[in-house]
Structure 1
Amino acid sequence: MATHILLLGRTPFDLDAVRSHIARSDITISTGTSLMETEAAFEAGVVDIVIMGAGIPLLDRLEIVKRVFELSESTSVHMMDRSSGKDGMMSFVNGVLQGLPGESSS
């Protein structure tokens, strides 16, 4: 079964561009920019990992983390500590995914 990743950023992600930068194929990806979109992702199904960019305002990020932990006892949350744009976000995402068991990234 694929791992479901929710990517959250200040601006919407282009899913095709995201997939082209991620070194693993054994995952499914959804994206969002807000607490409302986070809740919608959880309503749609299981979310295994939330990866959040630093461009989202801090109070919003904290509210999202709180809500994720209210919705799931098994979802992990990873947050960037400084804004670095889309390229930095994709490097961060790949770093998080390298720690997952399963398909090795090369």
Structure 2
Amino acid sequence: MNILLLGLRAATVDAARAQIEQPGLTVSVGTNIEDLRAVFARTTIDHVFIGGALPLETRLELVGEIFRLSDATTVHMKDLASGREGFLPFVRGVLRGLTR
């Protein structure tokens, strides 16, 4: 499974990647639409996780670009209220559901 983590802070998405890496899971990270495009140009992405701290306009732009680039990628958007600390539990929870 190939996933892409997108967030406002590189440190947050890098930390999440380091903590969820496992056999059979390829994790790419980014903080903007250019990163998203670069990852999609390199590989097929199954699931994209978008952090809640990104501005709404950016989140909407990312979603639109994902759906333009792929007809098979799913998008998972985190809430803002749970803060930066909620990103890793959000990603883990969705991945747990996807692998059941």
- Whole-Å Cα distance in 2 between the matches of residues 99 and 24 of structure 1? 16
TM-score, length basis structure 1: 0.83
Q: SS state of the match for residue 25, structure 1? A: coil
Asked whether the equivalents of residues 21 and 27 of structure 2 are also in contact (C-alpha less than 8 Å), the reply is no
- Whose helix fraction is larger, Structure 1's or Structure 2's? 2
Aligned ranges 1:25-64 → 2 under 5 Å = 25-64=23-62
Structure 2: state its 5+ residue gaps: none
Structure 1: state its 5+ residue gaps: none
- How much does 1:101 deviate? 2.9
Q: SS state of the match for residue 23, structure 2? A: coil
- Whole-Å Cα distance in 2 between the matches of residues 19 and 37 of structure 1? 15
Q: State the percentage of identical aligned residues.
A: 40
- Whole-Å Cα distance in 1 between the matches of residues 71 and 97 of structure 2? 20
Q: Which of 63, 66, 76 is the matching residue for 2:64? A: 66
Q: SS state of the match for residue 29, structure 1? A: strand
Moved over 6 A (4+): none
- Whole-Å Cα distance in 1 between the matches of residues 21 and 92 of structure 2? 7
Task: Give the root-mean-square deviation of aligned CA atoms.
Answer: 1.8
The one-letter code matched in structure 1 to 2:89 is S
- Whole-Å Cα distance in 2 between the matches of residues 34 and 19 of structure 1? 16
Q: SS state of the match for residue 77, structure 1? A: strand
Q: 1:64 to 1:18 in 2, by over 3 A?
A: same
- Number of aligned residue pairs: 98
